[in-house]
Each structure stands twice: as structure tokens, then as C-alpha cells.
């Protein structure tokens, strides 16, 4: 094709293809293989997919079925149709994996919810590729019991994926230990000198926005705030919550989410002085005065028991999971929009995690990011363990 079209035209055509088609194209000829597996093309393909106005937003929903996990991909539209089901090749020692976060179609999974397995996996469900991270430097056999928080994100300046690990070895007293894993190097680096005097809620979901991973934390003065780790600058920063949410109210839970590429916080309570569900959105990133309340829903009238909000849809509806396993969407006024799906039969009530994967079906971030390390070109397609090999290695580690 190079004899008929310029390289620029070839690149423009190839970057529009979905990842599975691109993987097939690497077998056409050596020049295409080198082109498609180059860091420059991977970055170009990712940027094109992210900027495409025609892309369909997706929601990835995780549920537990018997003794295994299942991941279903849904269209985030009126139909809420199930598009695909991904086979989950890993077996957890903790009943189910913790989803640390997702970025560009990659999921970061941890198996340290109850036991100290030190297992962290980067998984691309679309092409069934995974990377098992090496054990971190701070482990149970050397330091004893600890609490940890993980974060996952992408550094666009270095085209590198990173996992940040914050470990408290003294029940949250004193400064934590900090380690950073870069996919490009394959090792954990000690960054404890960057640690902040905050305790990050280990049950709080992260929100990856504007190149940074965000968590809700508690200060030494016992008020709540947002702590973030900038994946590019590799530094911690802090950010204030809306004024009405800074108090440490034990009756109210808080979670960070992403809404239309903006940082948002959802707070909810089924008891206490202000029962209900409220969502705030930071309209201008980093500007604390731009926090705006989007809705305040009274959930008592629905009488379904335990509730947890999962996500804010693109039209502003909030998806919640209830004690009976139902997924319910509510509009801004608190009216029940629809029962999206009942999953009580899957025994997944508090275990559901819903993630936004807007370009999961289109990006070429198929663990080929290790190409950035200047390793052999075969890493992207041949040398990375497939899902079955990863599962076998996990089983051998547990033994």
C-alpha cells in the first residue's frame, strides 16, 4: 500500500480502526508491524479515539456470579443494552477483586481487600491481555499489618501508565509510605518523601480527572478533603470539598466520580439529620468556588433499604444499587426514571462497581505501552501473558 499511498495517509486510515482490526493489520507486513507498535502511533490512535465525537459511551458493570466475577459492557443510552460480556480469567482469594480504577480501556485490579496477597493486575478485557505487577517493596511478611490505598492513571506527557500505592503501617498515625509503579520501567519506586499528613479512606473510590487521581481523605484536624496525585508531575496536592461536605459526619458516606470529564462528589445517607442523596460537580477544575449542587434526592419514599450510588450518567441521571440488587436511575428531581436491571439473583448487592469506559472498544492501549520501554517489539503481541497465563501465575503465587 505504501507504493500507492503516502505514510501520512496510511496512518490516518489505520488510526481509525478498532484495536482488534489493528492487531490483525500487524501481520500484513513488517513495516505495518513497526508502525502500529510504535509509541507515536499508539498515542495517535488513543488521541483520535478520545476526541471522536461519534464514540459511544459505555458502562462496564461488574457482578459476582456464584464463585466467579463477570464483567458486562452496556451502552450508556436509553436502551441500556448489554453489548458484550467479558470472561474474567482471575480467581480472587477475597471473594472478589477490588477495582482500583480504569483509564483508556484498561482496568487496574487488586486482590488485597482482606488478605495481604500483594496482587495488582492491569487488564484489558477487550483483547484479553493482562500484566501482573511485581510485589511492592512494603509487604506483610516484612512490616506486619497495614492499610493501603491504590490509585491508577495515565501520564500523557510520558505516554505511561502508573499505579500509586499509599501504605499506613501504624493505623493511620504518622506519615504513610508511598510507592509508584510505572509500566515503562516495571518496578516500584519509593516516593515516601512526598507523603502528606492525611489518611485516605481505603474504601473510597478514586476519580481520575485532568491527569490526576483523586481520593477523599481526612486531615489531622478531622475534616474531610480531596487529596490528589498528579500522574505527570508525580506530586500530591489537596483540594477542598464543597463546604457542606467537609465535616466528618459518620452517618453520611461520600464517593468521588467523574461526570462529563469533571470531578464530582456524591454524598448519601439513609439516616442522620439530612437523609438522602446529593451530588456536587466542580465546573472549573481546581477552582473550589465552582462547586455546584446538581441534585438533592430524598430516597426514603422509595423504601428499598440499603442504597449506594454508582454513577452519574451523561444526561445527569444517577444510577444507584439497592439492597434487593436493583439498578435504579433517578433524574435531577429525584423521580425514579427506570429499573435498569435486577441482579438480585447474582448476589452482587454491595459488590457492584460501575465504571466509565468511553473508549474501551477503540483504543490500542493493549498493554503495548511496554513498547515505550524500548523492549522488543514482540512485547505488545507475543510476549505479554495472555489472560490464561496470568490466571495460572496467580494460582501458583497463592500456593
Task: Give the strand order in the sheet containing 147-155.
Answer: 147-155, 160-168, 177-182, 187-190
Domain that holds residue 309: 242-350
Question: What pTM was estimated for this model as a whole?
Answer: 0.78
Find out whether 138 and 154 touch, Cβ atoms under 8 Å: no
288: helix, strand or coil? helix
pLDDT (0 to 100) of residue 240: 94
Find out whether 85 and 369 touch, Cβ atoms under 8 Å: no
Nearby residues of 263 by Cβ (< 8 Å), 6 or more positions away: 207, 209, 210, 214, 226, 256, 281, 282, 285
pLDDT (0 to 100) of residue 113: 66
Find, among 368, 348, 379, 361, the residue nearest to 122 by Cα: 368
59: helix, strand or coil? strand
- Whole-angstrom distance, CA of residue 95 vs CA of residue 350: 12
Q: In 10 A of CB 314, how many CB atoms?
A: 13
164: helix, strand or coil? strand
pLDDT (0 to 100) of residue 304: 57
Give the CA angle between residues 294, 299, 305 to the nearest 5°: 140
- Whole-angstrom distance, CA of residue 276 vs CA of residue 278: 7
Give the CA angle between residues 11, 15, 18 to the nearest 5°: 145
pLDDT (0 to 100) of residue 49: 66
- Residues in the chain, pLDDT under 70: 1-4, 39, 49-57, 113-115, 144, 171-173, 202-203, 250-251, 271-275, 299-306, 323-325, 332-337, 341-399
**Based on the structure, what is the number of domains in the chain?**
1
Find, among 251, 268, 258, the residue nearest to 309 by Cα: 268
Tell me if 106 is assigned to some domain. no
pLDDT (0 to 100) of residue 41: 80
DSSP strand pairing (98-103 vs 82-87): unpaired
Tell me if 334 is assigned to some domain. yes
Find, among 115, 111, 85, 107, the residue nearest to 98 by Cα: 111
DSSP type of residue 270: S
pLDDT (0 to 100) of residue 214: 96
Tell me if 267 is assigned to some domain. yes
Tell me if 356 is assigned to some domain. no
Please count the CA atoms within 13 angstroms of the CA of 99 that sit on its side-chain side. Answer: 24
* Torsion angles phi and psi, residue 96, rounded to 5: -155, 155
Find out whether 292 and 283 touch, Cβ atoms under 8 Å: yes
pLDDT (0 to 100) of residue 98: 84
**Dihedral, 81, 340, 271, 302 alpha carbons, nearest 10:** 160
Q: State the helix-helix crossing angle for 7-14 and 39-51, rounded to 10 degrees.
A: 50
Tell me if 359 is assigned to some domain. no
Tell me if 343 is assigned to some domain. yes
Q: In 10 A of CB 258, how many CB atoms?
A: 20
Tell me if 301 is assigned to some domain. yes
DSSP type of residue 350: G
Tell me if 254 is assigned to some domain. yes
Q: In 10 A of CB 65, how many CB atoms?
A: 13
Find, among 348, 302, 365, 323, the residue nearest to 159 by Cα: 365
First to last CA, the chain: 51
Amino acid at each position: 500500500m505504501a507504493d500507492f499511498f503516502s505514510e501520512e495517509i496510511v496512518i490516518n486510515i489505520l488510526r481509525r480502526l478498532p484495536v482488534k482490526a489493528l492487531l490483525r493489520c500487524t501481520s500484513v507486513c513488517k513495516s505495518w508491524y513497526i508502525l502500529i507498535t510504535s509509541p507515536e502511533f499508539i498515542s495517535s490512535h488513543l488521541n483520535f479515539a478520545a476526541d471522536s465525537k461519534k464514540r459511544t459511551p459505555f458502562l462496564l458493570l461488574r457482578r459476582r456470579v456464584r464463585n466467579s466475577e463477570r464483567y458486562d459492557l452496556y451502552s450508556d443510552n436509553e436502551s441500556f443494552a448489554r453489548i458484550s460480556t467479558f470472561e474474567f480469567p482471575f480467581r480472587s482469594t477475597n471473594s472478589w477483586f477490588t477495582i482500583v480504577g480504569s483509564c483508556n480501556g484498561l482496568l487496574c485490579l487488586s486482590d488485597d481487600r482482606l488478605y495481604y496477597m500483594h496482587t495488582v493486575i492491569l487488564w484489558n478485557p477487550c483483547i484479553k491481555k493482562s500484566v501482573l505487577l511485581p510485589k511492592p517493596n512494603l509487604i506483610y511478611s516484612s512490616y506486619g499489618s497495614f492499610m493501603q490505598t491504590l490509585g491508577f492513571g495515565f501520564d500523557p506527557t510520558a505516554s505511561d501508565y502508573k499505579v500509586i500505592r499509599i501504605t499506613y503501617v501504624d493505623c493511620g498515625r504518622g506519615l504513610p509510605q508511598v510507592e509508584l509503579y510505572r509500566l515503562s520501567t516495571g518496578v516500584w519506586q519509593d516516593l515516601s518523601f512526598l507523603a502528606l499528613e492525611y489518611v485516605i479512606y481505603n474504601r473510597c473510590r478514586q476519580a481520575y480527572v485532568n491527569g490526576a487521581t483523586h481520593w477523599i481523605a481526612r486531615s489531622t484536624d478531622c475534616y474531610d478533603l480531596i487529596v490528589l496525585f498528579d500522574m505527570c508531575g508525580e506530586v500530591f496536592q489537596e483540594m477542598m470539598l464543597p463546604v457542606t461536605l467537609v465535616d466528618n459526619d459518620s452517618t453520611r458516606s461520600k464517593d468521588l466520580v467523574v461526570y462529563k470529564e469533571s470531578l464530582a462528589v456524591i454524598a448519601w445517607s439513609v439516616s442522620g439529620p439530612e437523609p438522602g442523596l446529593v451530588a456536587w460537580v466542580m465546573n472549573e477544575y481546581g477552582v473550589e468556588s465552582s462547586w455546584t449542587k446538581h441534585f438533592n434526592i430524598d430516597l426514603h419514599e422509595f423504601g428499598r433499604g440499603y442504597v449506594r450510588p454508582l454513577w452519574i450518567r451523561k444526561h445527569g441521571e444517577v444510577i444507584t444499587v439497592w439492597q434487593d440488587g436493583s439498578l435504579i436511575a433517578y433524574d435531577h428531581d429525584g423521580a425514579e426514571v427506570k429499573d435498569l436491571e435486577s441482579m438480585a439473583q447474582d448476589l452482587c448487592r454491595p459488590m457492584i462497581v460501575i465504571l466509565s469506559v468511553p473508549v474501551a472498544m477503540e483504543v490500542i492501549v493493549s498493554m503495548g505501552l511496554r513498547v515505550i520501554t524500548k523492549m522488543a517489539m514482540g512485547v505488545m503481541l507475543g510476549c505479554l501473558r495472555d489472560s490464561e497465563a496470568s490466571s495460572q501465575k496467580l494460582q501458583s503465587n497463592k500456593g
